[in-house]
Amino acid sequence: MSAALIAQLVVIGFTFFMLLNSAAVLVLMERKVAAFIQQRLGPYRVGPWGAMQPLADIIKLMMKEELRPKSADTFLFYLAPILCATAAFAAFAVVPFGADTTFFGLLDEPVKLMATDVNVGLLVIFAITSMGVYGIVLAGWASNSKYSLLGGLRSSAQMISYELSYGLSLAAVIMLAGTLSLREVVDAQAGYWHLFGVLPIPKWYIFLQPLGFFIFMTAGVAETNRAPFDFPEAEQELVAGYHTEYSSMTFALFFMAEYINMVTVSAVSVNLFLGGWHGPFLPEYLGWMWFLLKVFALVFFYIWMRWTLPRYRYDHLMEFGWKWLLPAATLNLLVTAGVVIWMGW
């Protein structure tokens, strides 16, 4: 086996491992941030500062009894969480998280810091996300419970509606960058503009596409079923939505998928709009620090939003998606197309 292949396998294994960990860390982060916002302490008993809480949660989830409703469809009932988790992991495969690296001179040729480089990477993410819907729909249907079914239906209706705006805001960035590969989109954002000849502004697409960024983030919240768009799980109405009937590790898979999806959406928006691993002060080979920092900031924003904003009403959500977000995304795309042609980029 050549060194490059081993390095690539290490990168893939590392990506998988970190995603797995991110779910655990984010659960702790969510609880701590929530506690901070609500002036509580949050978890503090397990380990210093409650840092071991995720471990305790995992052990608890694994020890719990696996329950299944009597009239559930056994095969689909167990397939659904697997689909959800698989889609969540698979989507990250085409997301780059740093510049090509030789691991500080360890390798002769640089490897790409991503599981696999596909030249239609953005579309792959889009495709895998749309597969994730099936996990939720099937969970809702196979449980054979009214709460689950309603949660599953709501969730899929929401995801399908917001996928349109999501895709259109992506398309505007694709036009600017002229490529479908996330790596190349990030590379197109290297360097600075100089405002008035002096003030340097990084060439991030958020400055060219502020509306696109807003649409992408909003649709991203809806895609990941997070508050204020967390209708699939609206506790007051639906108990827990599509995963009402799930317990133990099957529930843990849904839970994990939600957090990993959050990381993926944040990572993709960092790559698309916030310049990926490009940033001031740090050399190129340490760019992944910038990347992690930006993803962390976005994830924090997500959690902040969840504990600050109340849930929308369902018809408001649909109205907002179809009557505001979609026209705005279309307009954004048309204007971008016009400018791109006019400027001849």
Partner 1 sequence: MDAVFFWMFAAVMVVASLLVVGQRNPMYSVLLLIVSFAALSGLYVLLNAPFMAVVQIIIYAGAIMVLFLFVVMLLNVRTEEDGAETHRPFDIGPGPRRFGAGLAVVLAVQLIWALRRIAEAPFVPAGPDAAAQTSVYAIGLRLFREYAFAFEATSVLILVAMVGAVILARRDPHLPTRKEQ
Which one among 16, 36, 44, 134 touches partner 1, defined by CB under 8 A? 134
Contacting residue, 160, 201, 334, 341, with partner 1 by CB under 8 A? 160
Contact (Cβ atoms closer than 8 angstroms) between residue 87 and residue 135: yes
- Which string of DSSP letters, residue by residue, matches 96-136? --S--B-TTTTSSS-B-SSS---TTHHHHHHHHHHHHHHHH
Does 101 help bind partner 1 (rule: CB under 8 A)? no
Please state the closest distance from residue 289 (CB atom) to partner 1, in A: 31
Q: Does 149 bind partner 1 (CB under 8 A)?
A: yes
Q: Is 340 in the site for partner 1 (CB under 8 A)?
A: no
Q: Does 76 bind partner 1 (CB under 8 A)?
A: yes
Q: What CA–CA distances, in Å, run from 320 to 88, 231, 265, 325, 328? A: 26, 14, 20, 6, 11
Which residues lie closer than 8 Å to 201 by C-beta, 6 or more apart?
192, 193, 194, 195, 207
Binding partner 1 (rule: CB under 8 A), the pick from 133, 150, 170, 260 is 133
How far the first Cα of the chain sits from its last, in Å, is 43
Other residues' Cβ atoms within 10 Å of the Cβ of residue 48: 7
- Who's near 217: CB < 8 A, 6+ residues apart? 269, 298
Query: Residue 147, interface with partner 1 (CB under 8 A)?
Result: no
Residues 194-253 that bind partner 1 (CB under 8 A): none
Q: Does 130 bind partner 1 (CB under 8 A)?
A: yes
Query: Residues in contact with partner 1, total (CB under 8 A)?
Result: 21
Residue number, 61 or 188, with CB nearest to partner 1: 188
Q: How far is the CB of 178 from partner 1 (least distance, A)?
A: 9
Question: What's the CA gap between 85 and 66, in Å, rounded?
Answer: 18
Question: Which one, 153 or 339, has the nearer CB to partner 1?
Answer: 153
Q: How far is the CB of 119 from partner 1 (least distance, A)?
A: 6
Q: Is 131 in the site for partner 1 (CB under 8 A)?
A: yes
Asked whether 188 and 176 are in contact (CB, 8 A), the reply is yes
Q: Looking at 8-16, 25-33, 135-143, 214-222, which segment touches partner 1 (CB under 8 A)?
A: 135-143
- Residues in contact with 334: Cβ distance below 8 Å, sequence separation at least 6, in sequence order: none
Segment lying near partner 1 (by CB under 8 A), choices 123-131, 209-217, 289-297, 324-332: 123-131
Q: Which is nearer to partner 1, 153 or 239 (CB)?
A: 153
Among 124, 170, 177, 262, binds partner 1 (CB under 8 A): 124
CA angle 279, 285, 289 (to 5 degrees): 55
Exactly one of 12, 180, 190, 249 binds partner 1 (CB under 8 A); that residue is 180
127 binds partner 1 (CB under 8 A): yes
Considering the rule CB under 8 A, would residue 118 count as an interface residue with partner 1? yes
Note whether 12 binds partner 1 by CB under 8 A. Answer: no
Residue 120 binds partner 1 (CB under 8 A): yes
Q: Does residue 153 touch partner 1 according to CB under 8 A? A: yes
Instruction: Give the Cα separation of 149 and 276 in Å (integer).
Output: 39
Tell whether residue 123 is a contact of partner 1 (CB under 8 A): yes
CB atoms within 10 A of CB 143: 26
What are the angstrom distances between the C-alpha of 307 and each of 35, 227, 318? Answer: 9, 8, 22
Q: Which of 165, 16, 37, 39 is CA-nearest to residue 88?
A: 16
Q: Is 184 in the site for partner 1 (CB under 8 A)?
A: no
CA distance 29 to 25: 6
Is 297 a binder of partner 1 (CB under 8 A)? no
Can you give the binding site for partner 1, defined by CB under 8 A? Answer: 73, 76, 118-120, 123-124, 126-127, 130-131, 133-134, 137-138, 141, 149, 153, 156, 160, 180
